[in-house]
Structure 1
Amino acid sequence: MGKSPVWKSIALGLTTDIAEGRYNTGDRLPTEAQLAAKYGVNRHTVRRALSDLSDQGLVRSRRGAGVFVTARPTDYPIGKRVRYHKSISASGKIPGKKILTLTTRTADVAEAEALELSEGEAVHVYDGLSLADGQPIGLFQSVFPAGRLPGILAALVETRSVTKALQQCGVEDYVRVSTRLTARAATPTQALHLQLSEGAPVLYSVGVNADTNGIPVEFGRTYFAGERVTLTMDNE
Structure 2
Amino acid sequence: MARTPIWQSIKRSLTADIAEGRFATGDRLPTEAQLAGRFGVNRHTVRRALAVMAEDGLVHSRRGSGVFVAAAPADYPIGRRVRFHQNIASGGRIPTKKVLSLAVQAAGAEEAAALEIAAGAEVLVYDGLSLADGQPVAVFQSMFPSDRLPGLAGALEATASVTEALAACGVADFTRVSTRITAKEATATQALHLQIAEGAPILRTVGINAGPDGRPVEFGRTWFAGDRVTLTVGED
TM-score (norm 2): 0.97
The aligned length equals: 236
Q: Which residue of 1 aligns with 2:62?
A: 62
Correspondence 1:8 to 2:8: yes
CA–CA separation in structure 1 for the residues paired with 2:201 and 2:136: 14
Q: Which residue of 2 aligns with 1:134?
A: 134
Please report how far the alpha carbon of residue 208 of structure 1 lies from its aligned counterpart in structure 2 after TM superposition.
0.2
Deviating runs (4+, > 6 A) in structure 1? none
Please report how far the alpha carbon of residue 109 of structure 1 lies from its aligned counterpart in structure 2 after TM superposition.
1.2
Please report how far the alpha carbon of residue 103 of structure 1 lies from its aligned counterpart in structure 2 after TM superposition.
0.5
CA–CA separation in structure 2 for the residues paired with 1:234 and 1:159: 28
Correspondence 1:172 to 2:179: no
Give the AA of the match of 1:129: L
Please report how far the alpha carbon of residue 166 of structure 1 lies from its aligned counterpart in structure 2 after TM superposition.
0.5
CA–CA separation in structure 2 for the residues paired with 1:158 and 1:27: 39
Please report how far the alpha carbon of residue 41 of structure 1 lies from its aligned counterpart in structure 2 after TM superposition.
1.7
Please report how far the alpha carbon of residue 87 of structure 1 lies from its aligned counterpart in structure 2 after TM superposition.
1.5
Identity of aligned pairs, percent? Answer: 63
Q: How does 1:68-217 map to 2 (within 5 A)?
A: 68-217=68-217
Q: Secondary structure at the match of 2:148?
A: coil
CA–CA separation in structure 1 for the residues paired with 2:98 and 2:119: 31
Write out per-residue CA displacement over residues 29-49 of structure 1, whole angstroms, 9 at most, x where no aligned residue.
Answer: 111111112222221111011
Give the AA of the match of 1:178: S
Q: Secondary structure at the match of 2:183?
A: strand
Please report how far the alpha carbon of residue 161 of structure 1 lies from its aligned counterpart in structure 2 after TM superposition.
0.9
Write out per-residue CA displacement over residues 196-232 of structure 1, whole angstroms, 9 at most, x where no aligned residue.
Answer: 1111110000000000111000000000000001111
Correspondence 1:31 to 2:31: yes
CA–CA separation in structure 2 for the residues paired with 1:123 and 1:183: 27
Q: Secondary structure at the match of 1:112?
A: helix
TM-score (norm 1): 0.97
Please report how far the alpha carbon of residue 21 of structure 1 lies from its aligned counterpart in structure 2 after TM superposition.
0.2
Write out per-residue CA displacement over residues 69-95 of structure 1, whole angstroms, 9 at most, x where no aligned residue.
Answer: 121111111110121111111110000
CA–CA separation in structure 1 for the residues paired with 2:4 and 2:108: 34
CA–CA separation in structure 2 for the residues paired with 1:6 and 1:98: 36
Please report how far the alpha carbon of residue 3 of structure 1 lies from its aligned counterpart in structure 2 after TM superposition.
3.1
CA–CA separation in structure 2 for the residues paired with 1:107 and 1:6: 44
CA–CA separation in structure 1 for the residues paired with 2:70 and 2:122: 44
RMSD of equivalent CA atoms: 1.1
Unaligned runs of at least 5 residues, structure 1: none
Q: Secondary structure at the match of 2:147?
A: coil
Unaligned runs of at least 5 residues, structure 2: none
CA–CA separation in structure 2 for the residues paired with 1:163 and 1:59: 32
Q: Secondary structure at the match of 1:147?
A: helix
CA–CA separation in structure 2 for the residues paired with 1:25 and 1:87: 18
Give the AA of the match of 1:154: G
CA–CA separation in structure 2 for the residues paired with 1:102 and 1:210: 21
With 32-41 and 99-108 compared, the bigger mean Cα shift is at 32-41
CA–CA separation in structure 2 for the residues paired with 1:2 and 1:83: 39
Give the AA of the match of 1:209: N
Q: Which residue of 1 aligns with 2:235?
A: 235
Q: Secondary structure at the match of 2:217?
A: strand
Q: Secondary structure at the match of 2:64?
A: coil
CA–CA separation in structure 1 for the residues paired with 2:10 and 2:110: 37
